[in-house]
Amino acid sequence: NAGVMQNPRHLVRRRGQEARLRCSPMKGHSHVYWYRQLPEEGLKFMVYLQKENIIDESGMPKERFSAEFPKEGPSILRIQQVVRGDSAAYFCASSPRGGFYGYTFGSGTRLTVV
Amino acid sequence: GENVEQHPSTLSVQEGDSAVIKCTYSDSASNYFPWYKQELGKRPQLIIDIRSNVGEKKDQRIAVTLNKTAKHFSLHITETQPEDSAVYFCAASIDYGGSQGNLIFGKGTKLSVKP
């Protein structure tokens, strides 16, 4: 089992560009979560998805951010018109049955906006 | 919504001593409490978890206790070793029959174990 796969590991974008972060959950996991971690800070919940459904997006900024988890393929976190404040590590986690059974995190994507 | 407070933010101990990290949560409906360890530049990894029907759980040098009445839970690491140095996060979630439960994390405790 390859675990939760995130790519790219590092992403550099200029202000105003779009960033696309990908997450492939562990085999058999149908729940995907995205978290953002700023330097020296904790993990902030952004969005919780199941296949083709957004279950909870209460932690995601209303503008410029979107997420999807299509029937086929990885989950995508998209940030449009990036700003310097978007620079952070973005972690994806997957779970077989929701948070009650614990997450497995991916290695994260470190986004730097220049 | 749920809010998780974690203390202390930094903790320095001598190798061989014990380390204790404490968390409180706000939503009395929370019933699952995992702890994660994150080494510098790496992913958070689950080290131990506890559910609300249990008061204490041990795994070798690591133990977690839960007080549902007071809404707090703690991580205890005994006989600390330099490789225990990392940031530790507590979290809480609510299981609505297995289909919900995004984890809400504390802000983390940076543990340094001095040789």
- Asked whether the beta carbons of residue A106 and residue B106 sit closer than 8 angstroms, the reply is no
- Asked whether the beta carbons of residue B44 and residue A107 sit closer than 8 angstroms, the reply is no
Looking at residue A53, its pLDDT comes to 92
pLDDT level of residue B96 (50, 70, 90 thresholds)? low
- Asked whether the beta carbons of residue B103 and residue A103 sit closer than 8 angstroms, the reply is yes
B91 by Cβ neighbours in 10 Å (0-12 / 13-18 / 19+) ranks as buried
* Farthest CA pair distance, chain A: 38
Residues of A in contact with B100 (CB under 8 A): 55-56, 98-99
Residue B98 has pLDDT above 70, yes or no: no
- Asked whether the beta carbons of residue A99 and residue B93 sit closer than 8 angstroms, the reply is yes
Query: CB atoms < 10 A from the CB of A14, how many?
Result: 8
pLDDT tens across A60-79, in order? 999 999 999 999 999 999 99
Chain B: give the shortest CA distance to residue A105, in Å: 6
Please measure the distance between the N-terminal and C-terminal CA atoms of chain B and give it in whole angstroms: 41
pLDDT level of residue A111 (50, 70, 90 thresholds)? very high
- Say if residues A90 and A36 touch (Cβ distance below 8 Å): yes
Residue A98 has pLDDT above 70, yes or no: no
- The mean predicted confidence, pLDDT, of chain A is 91
Looking at residue A100, its pLDDT comes to 59
Chain A: give the shortest CA distance to residue B17, in Å: 25
More confident: B12 or B95? B12
Cα dihedral B39, B15, B5, B101 sign: positive
Looking at residue B56, its pLDDT comes to 93
Lowest mean pLDDT among A80-89, A91-100, B44-53, B91-100: B91-100
- Mean pLDDT over residues B106-115, rounded? 96
- Mean pLDDT over residues A90-99, rounded? 81
pLDDT tens across A18-40, in order? 999 999 999 888 889 999 998 77
Would you call B100 an interface residue with chain A, using a CB distance cutoff of 8 Å? Answer: yes
Residues of B in contact with A45 (CB under 8 A): 102-105
Residue A101 has pLDDT above 80, yes or no: no
Residue B10 has pLDDT above 70, yes or no: yes
